[in-house]
Amino acid sequence: MLVLLDLLRLPPEHLGASILLLAGIVISCEYLRVSLTPVLTRSVIAHVLVNLLSAVVLPALLAVVLVLSIAAHPDRALINLAIAGGLYVLWYLAGQSTLLVRSDTQGADLGFICIGSVITFVPGVIAFAVA
């Protein structure tokens, strides 16, 4: 557990592992969201889970990662912001990749991604300004 928490601080010596961990979480959340959407269209629980995964859990996790990483390594703040931006590009690409398999999915949801970017980058930019 401590190793995972350490990886969330984006340490320079384990940056590759940290990025892979976050990329796996981003892709897993997006694929779970897309897989639940067409299958359980009338399920309230599935709808709430989809909204939580896309608009709350993933952006909040990335916000925590940004704040922790900027607090731990203030000299790498811009790099960490760029990594978070790259994870958002990965989030979009993961959503769009579902269209290759199932044309009845909506693909990447830009509304959720835009809301998520506000949730992620506002604390990140504030942490950058303070650091």
Whose tokens are 């790099």? That residue is: 79
HSE (side-chain half, CA atoms, 13 Å) at 60: 7
pTM: 0.90
Cα angle 89-90-91, degrees, rounded to a multiple of 5: 90
pLDDT value of position 79: 95
Whose tokens are 């830009």? That residue is: 110
Higher pLDDT, residue 120 or 36: 120
- Residue-wise pLDDT tens digits, 90-115: 999 998 998 888 777 777 888 889 99
pLDDT value of position 38: 67
Instruction: Note whether 89 and 22 are within 8 A (CB).
Output: no
Neighbours of 23 (CB within 10 A): 16
